[in-house]
Chains A and B, each alone.
Chain A
Amino acid sequence: MYRMIIKRLIMLIPVLLGISFILFTIMYFTPGDAARLLLGDSASEEAVEALREQLGLNGGFFERYFDYIGNIILHGDFGISYRTRNPVFTEVFTRFHYTLRLALTAIIISSVLGVLFGILSAVRQYSIADNVITAVTLFLTSMPDFWLGMMLIIIFAVNLKVLPISGASSWECFILPGFTAAANYLANTIRMTRSSMLETIRMDYVRTARAKGVPEKKVIFGHTLKNALMPIVTLVGVNMGWQLGGTIIIEQVFGIPGIGSLMIQSIRMKDTPVVIGCIMFIAFLSSLINLATDIIYAYIDPRIRAQYVTKKAVKA
């Protein structure tokens, strides 16, 4: 198990290097000049040139890339934001907790409601409740985030005035974006829970449990759900990774100053160090979450855990 964890962590290094190279290449070759964007249209060519020199934008592609990567590897320095002149690390961590709050809110909503409605849908298969839930999941899957977000704003913030339109100053601000971000994953979780439960519910051991007279609640939550949980855990893990990197549009719609907003701002200003910093950070976190999912998977399912037992341990 430990070997697997260490191996996966080592594998992260080439992945992150690859990401940095691809992003640097894209940012380098797309048109636009960070110095000009920063100083504005009216700045003189001399001033722009001086800023270019100061920011180190005059070097060639490989010179700049290796300088950048060298600083990361040798000094752990991800550079300075062209826009604010703050260290990239400060920029990313200043914004990260907003994205984390949003992602966790969405994950909790989608997991809790998804599993509950999924179970309801499975145990009441073909009932009115099942049909309604199926229709709602279809709606949630089909609607684009930005549209759903705007609709929620119009209903709950503009008309009912019970929640704020935008911002991140209080917990209320995360309710609407949390639901918007959760919508798609909620639908997926419901469908996944439903099909997994239906598959498990027909197993012999469930029938045996019922035959033994085990109460229905215990059959559902104790026997069926526990065994149906495997694919749901994977889905939640994958969702979490997606949420951390995929809330850009939601952050924009709801004015949440998270990593997504920072990325958009930085891309517009060609702030290369921040763009690369943000995406590497998200990639790193997503990899860790995937790893954690695998570990939890092994913990839940003894068959998976057995795969990681070394030959030495088996012999002993």
Chain B
Amino acid sequence: MKKFKKFVASALAAVMVLGLAACGGGGGTSETQAGSGGTAETETTANEILTQETAAAADTSDGTAVDSGAAKESAKDSIIMGYTAEPNNINPGADSKTNAQMVVAMFHDGLVGKAPEDQSVIVPSISDTWEFSEDGTELTMHIRDDIKFHDGTPLTVEDVLFSLDYAVSQGLNASSASVLKSWEDVGDNNIKITLSYPYKPVLQILATPGYSIISKAFYEQCEADGTNFGMVENGTGAYTLESWTTGDRMVLKAYDDWHRGAPAIKDVEIRVCSDETSGALMVENGEIDFFIGMNNADRDRLAANENLELVDAYSAGTYIICMNLQEGPFADNLALREAVAYAINREEILLGGMNGVGSVTPGPITPGYFGYVEGFEPYPYDPEKAKEKMIEAGYPDGIDIEFKVASDSWYSLPAQVIVEQLRQVGIRCDLQIMERAPFLEETQEQLDYEMCYYITWGDFPDADPVMWGKFHSECIGQPMMNFGGVNDPEVDELLLKARTSLDDQERLDLYAELAEMNKENVWYLMVLTTYNAVVINKDIEGVTPIPAGYYNPAFYYWVEA
């Protein structure tokens, strides 16, 4: 068999040699070289710092004492990861794609970090201690003076202030940036961030890759010599960029002076897989060790493979049915909206539209996020009741509606199940499967639709970004925000109260009340949330589910080579 394989390979290869010899090389021009990674000396390891400062950190955040540092001994020091969507660039805060943010987080650190085991737990990073003022509107953070950028230059308070200026100017951070009012150097390596209002999850914002700390000098140098800042890096993170062959792969090298401890995995290659099927085959074949972007259709096959392991993370998003509350048949017709609520069977949608991968979601907040309402009961599936509601709504003979959905399978397939369920109660949908760009323009910005199916998304695990965006009247017409058109002063008031409260229980109660109001008024119908599973080689340890998808090999290690 071995001989046969060799023969096949040689035979196929023979025809190739001429062609490749003819154009040989060439790869060199395609690679973007990273900003030089310098050597840095760190006298105290991250874990020591953490031990010293955990008490302070735990007092001021929701965190408990956790290991924030990098991994243990590894049987092998390299990993090949694969994803289907390559970042457009690696400029922090410029590319909204999850994979772009994931890569940014490998190169950079934020003022604070997240515990690898639990993303809701904040741990020290560039800042080792912090303190909130009594009224919660001022946050004083101490900046470590022993951290160096990859080129060896020390990180200073000036870099931190510049990074905050830079972050709030980036489109990606626009919604969270309004929380931060001003920031200044207050001496002794401390900065003071003044908030626009008391905001408990502000540390979660500062831990997102969009708020990475960058080198001011490096940025200015790039500007001066015309280097594309989005294709290079000089962060303080666990890895440095060795090369980037766009469309093919990124090669990363461990930054051994990383302040959270030298990563056990030294060499990381991130390959672009042409699609989900190729990625699945590559991880099955052992060509890659870690695959992000698995298709639900491949799930059972990959799960059955004894060399692989699936790591399921709840998606940071919830899929929702949205009815236009501003105009059209659903506006001012609660009975019609209730008819829809009674007509949908979430389990069937999950099974038919998502291959059963995920869970039904009755409330507005994804499980695992702060504000998730345990035991929340949605409208039951009751087609008879739905038909009664149709009569009450003034449509005894049924109604024709326009149902818009983006063409991606995770929207269009569940939408087809919904169409059939609604048809059974007399709601006849004209299903319009659209390209994503015009779909967003028509449904989110122009509110030109009657019913649509889309997703809500929270960048960090707190209810505020989702609830504020989805229900506050100031967010009407903003993409991914209040595209239903909810406009209720009472809701606005509750949202503001929940946003600015420093009492966790009060916030939870307020979000539960808002979820109940949403149910009563049928503003949005939450349907399901799915898993963002990653498929990994079973010998890799340390991989924990991350809903936002920012996987970092600095925390992983191999138990077997």
A binds B: yes
- Chain A interface (Cβ < 8 Å from any Cβ of B): 31-33, 36-48, 50-51, 83-86, 91, 93-95, 97-98, 100-101, 104-109, 112-113, 153, 156-158, 160-169, 171-172, 174-176, 178-179, 251-255, 257-258, 261-262, 265, 269-270
Nearest A residue to B10 by beta-carbon distance? A162
**B26 interface neighbour in A48, A97, A160, A179, Cβ under 8 Å:** A97
In the complex, which residues of chain B have a beta carbon less than 8 angstroms from the beta carbon of A270?
437
Docked-complex contact B437 and A37, CB < 8 angstroms: yes
Known A42-B479, A254-B278; further 7 A-B contacts with Cβ < 8 A: A32-B436, A39-B171, A47-B170, A47-B172, A97-B26, A255-B272, A265-B247
Docked-complex contact A174 and B281, CB < 8 angstroms: no
Nearest B residue to A40 by beta-carbon distance? B96
Interface size on B, residues (CB 8 A): 61
CA A163 to CA B18, docked complex, whole Å: 18
Known: A43-B172, A93-B29, A253-B274. A162 touches B8 (CB 8 A): yes
Docked-complex contact A84 and B285, CB < 8 angstroms: no
**B274 interface neighbour in A38, A51, A255, Cβ under 8 Å:** A255
B419-438 vs A, Cβ < 8 Å mask (1 yes, 0 no): 00000000000000001111
In the complex, which residues of chain A have a beta carbon less than 8 angstroms from the beta carbon of B26?
97, 100-101
Nearest A residue to B444 by beta-carbon distance? A41
Docked-complex contact A42 and B457, CB < 8 angstroms: yes
CB proximity of B99 to chain A, nearest CB, Å: 12
Q: Is the interface of A mostly helix, strand, loop or mixed?
A: helix
In the complex, which residues of chain A have a beta carbon less than 8 angstroms from the beta carbon of B75?
none
Nearest A residue to B7 by beta-carbon distance? A162
The answer to whether B108 has its CB under 8 Å from any CB of chain A is no
Q: Would you mind naming 27 contact pairs between A and B with Cβ atoms under 8 Å apart?
A: A31-B441, A33-B441, A36-B441, A37-B436, A39-B94, A39-B172, A40-B172, A41-B96, A41-B457, A44-B171, A45-B478, A47-B170, A47-B174, A84-B88, A97-B30, A100-B23, A105-B19, A108-B16, A109-B19, A112-B15, A153-B278, A156-B8, A161-B285, A163-B9, A166-B274, A167-B248, A255-B272
CB proximity of A42 to chain B, nearest CB, Å: 5
Shortest 10 CB-CB contacts between residues of A and residues of B: A40-B96, A257-B247, A32-B437, A47-B171, A97-B26, A255-B274, A44-B174, A31-B438, A105-B19, A43-B171
CA A38 to CA B170, docked complex, whole Å: 12
Known: A39-B171, A85-B228, A261-B247. A158 touches B281 (CB 8 A): yes
Docked-complex contact A43 and B88, CB < 8 angstroms: no
The answer to whether B480 has its CB under 8 Å from any CB of chain A is yes
The answer to whether B137 has its CB under 8 Å from any CB of chain A is no
- Chain B interface (Cβ < 8 Å from any Cβ of A): 5, 8-9, 12-13, 15-20, 22-23, 26-27, 29-30, 86, 88-89, 94-97, 170-172, 174-175, 228, 230-231, 245-249, 271-275, 278, 281-282, 284-285, 287, 435-438, 440-441, 444-445, 457, 459, 478-480
CA A113 to CA B15, docked complex, whole Å: 9
CB proximity of B252 to chain A, nearest CB, Å: 16
In the complex, which residues of chain A have a beta carbon less than 8 angstroms from the beta carbon of B15?
105, 108-109, 112-113, 178
Docked-complex contact B13 and A40, CB < 8 angstroms: no
**B8 interface neighbour in A37, A160, A253, Cβ under 8 Å:** A160
Nearest A residue to B178 by beta-carbon distance? A44
In the complex, which residues of chain B have a beta carbon less than 8 angstroms from the beta carbon of A261?
247, 274
In the complex, which residues of chain A have a beta carbon less than 8 angstroms from the beta carbon of B97?
40
In the complex, which residues of chain B have a beta carbon less than 8 angstroms from the beta carbon of A165?
278, 281-282, 285, 287
Docked-complex contact B457 and A50, CB < 8 angstroms: no
Known: A42-B175, A157-B281, A162-B9. A107 touches B228 (CB 8 A): no
**A157 interface neighbour in B20, B246, B285, B441, Cβ under 8 Å:** B285
CA A261 to CA B278, docked complex, whole Å: 15
Which among B15, B30, B248, B478 has the greatest number of chain A C-beta atoms within 10 A? Answer: B248
